[in-house]
Amino acid sequence: MTTPDAAGRPPTDRDRCFEVLSNTSCRTLARLVVAESPAGIEKHELASRFAAVTNDIEPDSVTDDQIQRALLECHHRGVPALVDAGLVTVDDETVRATDHWAYDDPGFSAPITGRTNHSAEELDVLFEALADARRRAALSILTKRYRPTTVRSLAHEVASLESGVAHQEDAKTHVERVQTALTHVHVPILSTAGLVEYDADADRVSFAGHPVLDVAWLEPDSSSGDSNAGAVSFLSKPSDV
C-alpha cells in the first residue's frame, strides 16, 4: 500500500500528471474535454475539434481524413493517457473530466486550459523535466541552497533520500551511480528546461526557478524512498568550497 503525500495524493499522481502535461496533444485534449464537462463530449466530436485545433483551421473546414487521424490519436494515445492519469473518464463513448485535484491547482490547470504565455514547446520540455522523481528531488534540494553546489554534493543528498542500503560500500556505490546519472542525464535535462543553471566545466549547479513551477510540486514522493532519508548520512558529504 502506498502512502499519500502531504496533500493526501497517491505518490504516483504527480508523475502521471507531469507526463501528460509534457505532451501538447494531451494538454489540448484535456482542454477540450474540460470545456464540455461535466456533460462530457462524444469521442467523434472530440476528435473533430482536436483536428481543428491541431491543424489550425475552423471546425467546419476539417476533412474526414483529418478526423480519422485525430480519432486514432485520441483512441490509441491521448485519451488512454488522460484516463491513466485520472484526468478523464470514458463512459459509453463520452469523455468527461474528473474531479482530479490538478484542475484546482493553478500551476497544472493553466497549461491545460491554455492560460499561459509559454509556448507549447517550452511546456513540453518543462513538464518532461519534472516527470521524474529524482529530478524533482534534486530541484527540491537546490531550492534550499543559496549558492551553486557541486554535482557530487548534490548526488550525496539525492542518494540519502533514495537509499535504503545498509552497508557503507553499497551506499557509496549508490552515490556514485546517482552522481553519474545526474551528470549525464538529469542535470542537463533540468538545464535545458531552464530550471537550473549548470556550469559543466566548473561542475556547479544552482536552482534557476521558472515562472510556471510551484515549489510545492517538488515535495518528495513517498515512493522514492524518503522514509529512508539519511540512510547514507554516515558518508562524508563533500564540501562545496
pLDDT of residue 188: 97
pTM listed for this prediction: 0.80
- What digits encode the pLDDT tens for the residues 96-120? 999 998 898 888 888 888 888 889 9
Decide: 84 and 103 in contact? Cβ < 8 Å: no
Q: Which domain holds residue 39?
A: 13-117
What is the residue type of 156? H
Phi and psi at 194, nearest 5°, equal 80, 15
Grid look-up 497544472 returns 108
Q: What is the tally of structural domains in the chain?
A: 2
Same domain, 17 and 83: yes
- What digits encode the pLDDT tens for the residues 24-69? 999 999 999 999 999 999 999 999 999 999 999 999 999 999 999 9
Decide: 59 and 52 in contact? Cβ < 8 Å: yes
Same domain, 110 and 139: no
Cell for 117? 504565455
pLDDT of 9 above 80: no
Decide: 175 and 112 in contact? Cβ < 8 Å: no
Q: What is the mean pLDDT of residues 203-227?
A: 75
Same domain, 113 and 158: no
User: CA-CA distance, 157 to 39, in Å (whole number)?
Assistant: 48
Residue 235 lies in a domain: no
The CATH number for 221's domain is 1.10.10
